[in-house]
């Protein structure tokens, strides 16, 4: 990365994306609480730097796969906000026409191949996408986001071995927030940790402070360059913290209050904001970014609330071509 | 038309399609060596290691990577070696492949074929002999192919490879040596069209996959006893040729379904239920099902034979129907 103004512009880009992710999820939480959004909602508040820092290094034609906590990944990859909000609201204008909801947001137009309701479900898909892209002669790469809970599932073992075996262009991004639902990940994970596990499978790993957006950006920049250069897969292990509960209705009251308070001190938006102020960015400029993000999401919420529901007739669409059933059948 | 074995017919079909479309590739264990049954013999030298990918024993990722590759525009043939191993990839098949087009509002069609040689074969015992195709007919989003002849295997495989739907292709592994004619240029056979294996007027026998030759033998034996059985080979379970079944059953008024799968909860139950709904409860004089009892497939030949439907059991079931 070049220094000076370029660096500041990059940090501002990161901050802008992180503000939009935060504002989107805070708005979605409020809408959920107000009964405007049905179903479960997993927010990534506190983890925004991982999505923003990684995706800043991806091209539009690069692909990502994501997990159940995927709003940030989608926004950072450039997914349309209105389509995302309306998907959460179950409206016809959602990216998935209201058939997927929060856990299945996809926006293929920007290479977002889908969130996933199954832990580790995106890993085989990511390695296959990379293999397919190579077959088609593309130099695009795939970033695969998953949590620390996913590393105890078979597809993690299979997928990393596979990607290393075929030297596939995949950046595995493990968001290590220390918890899996209501369980501390370390209490159910043996061995010397995520990075060592990846290395044992032939995938070089880099650990980073995932709440330091600049550090994530720098690590991702290096790894993406290596991957695009043909070096094969890499794993980015980003340590972070899930500030909220597992779902929108989970208070996560089992956690030590002092631990949560300390985590708030370390949260990525506040840290990047302080850094930008140090770099001489005026407070007003940051306030404008924050205000813009809030306004954008408020408007998306209002428009989603007024947006039409899907016509029940579309419930029958897009199952399959051969053997599709119809309402009259 | 040349006579070839069923497995060779399948090989020729895949070969023809792979020559025509560079987006088609094969992934699975040992496929570079030609596959467990020689279905891909010679493919590596013609298509190279990027299109004939011998994989680790990683069924979840064989299945899931096939999906990922389909989502970026390739057309994978996912080879599961033996159907029973596909059980290790149920998340990828049922939660991901079958639903992704729907869940994502039609943004992507996973155009892929999953090949799963299935059924009782050479006393392979309980973990290498299952026929669970009825499970998959139950899952929205999937096409289910269950051919029984070389020509149907070839034609349906061509159709499966060209289809934009995810297609489950149950190769009948016990019939791999079966010989039949296959056209030089293999034309696709549409899904959902039954083949009338034998015309008859006294009862309708609906069947599919590896048990079809036994049913045809049984029909011959029944004819010698003065019973004229019509045999319909469904060829695909989803979609299935309801019109052909109903037309035949309405004519013969006796309907027997024979499948190698366990009878209880099998697809035969669906067919008889639909016949009752479509034709009315009084339309048929007699209905019946013949499959395996709800027991795992045993190893020893006399045990396997005791449970497996065969021509003699079909004859007995048909005669029982005729007596009603
Ligand atoms: C295969 C599977 N098992 C269980 C679940 C239920 N579940 C949803 S999220 C979750 C915890 C996942 O933890 P992690 O991957 O670390 O992600 P985080 O929620 O911490 O972001 C669990 C157990 C699931 N969705 N999929």
**Do the beta carbons of residue B11 and residue B38 sit within 8 Å?**
yes
Q: Is A243 in the pocket of ligand 1 (CB under 6 A)?
A: no
Tell me what pLDDT residue A329 has: 55
Tell me what pLDDT residue B167 has: 98
- Would the CB atoms of B104 and A123 count as touching at under 8 Å? no
Mean pLDDT across A178-186: 95
DSSP strands (E only) in B201-262: 203-207, 229-233, 236-238, 254-262
- Would the CB atoms of A65 and B64 count as touching at under 8 Å? no
Q: Is the dihedral of CA A310, A314, A316, A320 positive or negative?
A: negative
Residue in B63, B73, B105 nearest the CB of A95:
B105
Going by pLDDT thresholds of 50, 70 and 90, the confidence category of residue B1 is confident
ipTM topping 0.90: yes
Q: Under DSSP, is residue B195 helix (H, G, I), strand (E, B) or coil?
A: strand
pLDDT in tens, A269-318: 999 999 999 999 999 999 999 999 999 999 999 999 999 999 999 999 99
Task: Tell me the nearest-neighbour CA distance from B18 into chain A, angstroms.
Answer: 14
- According to DSSP, residue B172 is labeled B
The pick from A159, A181, A187, A243 for probing ligand 1's pocket by mutation, whose C-beta has the most ligand atoms within 8 angstroms, reads A181
- Would the CB atoms of A63 and B72 count as touching at under 8 Å? yes
Residue A176 lies in a domain: yes
CA of A72 to the centre of ligand 1 (A): 17
Mean pLDDT across B221-250: 98
- Compute the C-alpha angle A212/A214/A217, nearest 5°: 110
Tell me what pLDDT residue A80 has: 98
Residue A48 lies in a domain: yes
Domain that holds residue A86: 4-311
Going by pLDDT thresholds of 50, 70 and 90, the confidence category of residue A327 is confident
User: How far apart are alpha carbons B300 and B158 in whole angstroms?
Assistant: 37
Residue A322 lies in a domain: no
Going by pLDDT thresholds of 50, 70 and 90, the confidence category of residue B160 is very high
Residue ranges of domains in chain B, CATH in brackets: 3-181 (3.40.50.970), 195-322 (3.40.50.920)
Mean pLDDT across B235-251: 98
Percent with pLDDT over 70 in chain B: 100
Tell me what pLDDT residue A281 has: 97
User: How far apart are alpha carbons A11 and A274 in whole angstroms?
Assistant: 11
**Do the beta carbons of residue A214 and residue A275 sit within 8 Å?**
yes
Percent with pLDDT over 90 in chain A: 97
Average the pLDDT over each of A8-22, A217-231, A284-298, A315-329 and give the range with the smallest value: A315-329
- According to DSSP, residue A107 is labeled B
Residue B103 clears pLDDT 50, i.e. is over it: yes
Tell me what pLDDT residue A4 has: 58
Instruction: Return left, alpha or beta for A323; rule: phi > 0 is left, psi -120 to 50 is alpha, else beta.
Output: left
Mean pLDDT across B281-288: 96
CA distances (Å), origin B297, targets B5, B155, B309: 26, 30, 12
Going by pLDDT thresholds of 50, 70 and 90, the confidence category of residue A326 is confident
Instruction: Return left, alpha or beta for A175; rule: phi > 0 is left, psi -120 to 50 is alpha, else beta.
Output: beta
Residue B144 clears pLDDT 90, i.e. is over it: yes
User: How far apart are alpha carbons B284 and B294 in whole angstroms?
Assistant: 26
CA of A147 to the centre of ligand 1 (A): 8
CA of B210 to the centre of ligand 1 (A): 41
Residue A151 lies in a domain: yes
Residue A328 lies in a domain: no
Task: Tell me the nearest-neighbour CA distance from B209 into chain A, angstroms.
Answer: 19
Tell me what pLDDT residue A83 has: 98
Residue A301 lies in a domain: yes
- Compute the C-alpha angle A289/A291/A294, nearest 5°: 110
Whether omega before B241 lies within 30 degrees of 0, making that bond cis, reads no
Going by pLDDT thresholds of 50, 70 and 90, the confidence category of residue A328 is low
Q: Which two tokens stand for residue B298?
A: 């045993």
Mean pLDDT across B54-81: 98
User: How far apart are alpha carbons B112 and B93 in whole angstroms?
Assistant: 11
Across the A/B interface, how many CB contacts are shorter than 8 Å?
Answer: 163
- Can you name the residues that pair with B77 across neighbouring β-strands? B26, B113
Chain B hits for A317, Cβ within 8 Å: 106
User: How far apart are alpha carbons B233 and B146 in whole angstroms?
Assistant: 9
Catalytic site residues of B? Answer: 128
Q: Is A212 in the pocket of ligand 1 (CB under 6 A)?
A: no
Averaged pLDDT of chain A: 96
Mean pLDDT across A151-172: 98
Going by pLDDT thresholds of 50, 70 and 90, the confidence category of residue A154 is very high
- Residue with the nearest Cα to atom 13 of ligand 1? A180
Task: Tell me the nearest-neighbour CA distance from A288 into chain B, angstroms.
Answer: 34
Tell me what pLDDT residue A2 has: 44
User: How far apart are alpha carbons B249 and A260 in whole angstroms?
Assistant: 69
Residue A194 clears pLDDT 60, i.e. is over it: yes
Q: Which two tokens stand for residue A13?
A: 């880009």
Q: Is A148 in the pocket of ligand 1 (CB under 6 A)?
A: yes
CATH code (residue A231): 3.40.50.970
Q: Under DSSP, is residue B24 helix (H, G, I), strand (E, B) or coil?
A: strand
pLDDT in tens, A71-126: 999 999 999 999 999 999 999 999 999 999 999 999 999 999 999 999 999 999 99
Total domains in the fold of chain A: 1
Q: Is A43 in the pocket of ligand 1 (CB under 6 A)?
A: no
Q: Which residue of B has its CA nearest to A310?
A: B105
User: How far apart are alpha carbons B66 and A128 in whole angstroms?
Assistant: 6
Q: Under DSSP, is residue A235 helix (H, G, I), strand (E, B) or coil?
A: strand
Residue A138 lies in a domain: yes
Residue B165 clears pLDDT 80, i.e. is over it: yes
Q: Which two tokens stand for residue A283?
A: 């407070």
- Would the CB atoms of B61 and A320 count as touching at under 8 Å? no
Q: Under DSSP, is residue B106 helix (H, G, I), strand (E, B) or coil?
A: coil
Tell me what pLDDT residue B312 has: 98
Atom of ligand 1 nearest to the CA of A69: 21
Q: Which of B200, B239, B195, B231 is nearest to B214 (CA)?
A: B231
Q: Is A150 in the pocket of ligand 1 (CB under 6 A)?
A: yes
Mean pLDDT across B33-62: 98
Residue A326 lies in a domain: no
Tell me what pLDDT residue A1 has: 44
Tell me what pLDDT residue B184 has: 96
């Amino acid at each position: 990365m070049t220094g000076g103004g370029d660096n500041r512009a990059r940090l501002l880009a990161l901050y802008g994306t992180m503000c939009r992710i935060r504002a989107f999820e805070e708005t979605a939480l409020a809408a959920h609480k107000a009964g405007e959004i049905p179903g479960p909602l997993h927010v990534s508040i506190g983890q925004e730097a991982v999505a923003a820092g990684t995706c800043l290094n991806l091209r539009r034609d690069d692909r990502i796969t994501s997990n159940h906590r995927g709003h940030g990944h989608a926004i950072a990859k450039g997914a349309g906000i209105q389509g995302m909000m309306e998907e959460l609201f179950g409206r016809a204008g959602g990216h998935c026409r209201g058939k997927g909801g929060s856990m299945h947001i996809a926006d293929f137009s920007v290479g977002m191949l889908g969130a996933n309701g199954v832990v580790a479900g995106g890993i085989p898909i990511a390695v296959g996408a990379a293999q397919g892209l190579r077959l088609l002669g593309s130099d695009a790469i795939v970033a695969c986001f998953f949590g620390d809970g996913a590393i105890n599932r078979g597809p993690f073992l299979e997928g990393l071995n596979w990607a290393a075996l075929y030297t596939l262009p995949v950046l595995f991004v493990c968001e290590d927030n220390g918890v899996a639902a209501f369980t501390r990940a370390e209490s159910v994970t043996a061995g010397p940790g995520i990075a060592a596990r990846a290395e044992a499978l032939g995938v070089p790993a880099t650990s980073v402070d995932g709440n330091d957006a600049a550090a994530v950006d720098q690590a991702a920049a290096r790894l993406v360059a290596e991957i695009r250069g043909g070096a094969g897969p890499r794993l980015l292990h980003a340590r972070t913290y899930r500030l909220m509960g597992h779902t929108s209705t989970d208070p996560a009251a089992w956690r030590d209050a002092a631990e949560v308070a300390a985590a708030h001190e370390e949260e990525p938006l506040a840290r990047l904001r302080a850094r930008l102020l140090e770099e001489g960015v005026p407070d007003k400029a940051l306030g404008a970014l924050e205000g813009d993000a809030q306004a954008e999401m408020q408007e998306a919420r209002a428009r989603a609330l007024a947006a039409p529901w899907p016509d029940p007739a579309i419930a029958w669409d897009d199952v399959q071509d051969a053997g599709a059933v119809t309402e009259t059948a | 038309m040349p006579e070839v074995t069923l497995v060779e017919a399948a090989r020729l079909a895949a070969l023809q399609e792979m020559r025509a479309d560079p987006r088609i590739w094969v992934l699975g264990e040992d496929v570079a060596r030609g596959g467990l049954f020689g279905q891909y013999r010679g493919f590596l030298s013609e298509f190279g290691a990027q299109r004939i990918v011998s994989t680790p024993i990683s069924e979840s990722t064989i299945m899931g990577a096939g999906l990922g590759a389909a989502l970026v525009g390739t057309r994978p043939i996912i080879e599961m070696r033996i159907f029973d191993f596909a059980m290790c990839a149920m998340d990828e098949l049922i939660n991901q492949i079958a639903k992704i087009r729907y869940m994502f509002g039609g943004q992507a069609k996973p155009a892929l074929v999953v090949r799963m040689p299935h059924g009782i074969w050479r006393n392979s015992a309980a973990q290498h002999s299952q026929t669970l195709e009825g499970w998959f007919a139950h899952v929205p989003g999937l096409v289910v192919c269950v051919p029984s002849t070389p020509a149907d295997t070839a034609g349906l495989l061509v159709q499966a490879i060209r289809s934009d739907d995810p297609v489950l292709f149950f190769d009948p592994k016990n019939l791999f040596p079966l010989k039949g004619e296959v056209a030089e240029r293999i034309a696709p056979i549409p899904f959902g069209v039954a083949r009338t294996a034998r015309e008859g007027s006294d009862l309708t026998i609906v069947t599919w996959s590896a048990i079809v030759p036994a049913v045809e033998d049984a029909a011959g034996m029944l004819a010698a006893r003065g019973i004229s059985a019509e045999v319909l080979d469904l060829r695909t379970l989803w979609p299935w040729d309801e019109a052909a079944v109903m037309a035949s059953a309405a004519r013969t008024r006796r309907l027997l379904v024979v499948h190698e799968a366990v009878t209880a909860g099998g697809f035969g139950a669906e067919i008889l239920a639909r016949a009752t709904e479509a034709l009315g409860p009084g339309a048929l004089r007699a209905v019946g099902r013949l499959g395996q009892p709800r027991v795992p497939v045993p190893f020893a030949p006399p045990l396997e034979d005791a449970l497996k439907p065969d021509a003699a059991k079909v004859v007995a079931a048909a005669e029982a129907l005729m007596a009603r």
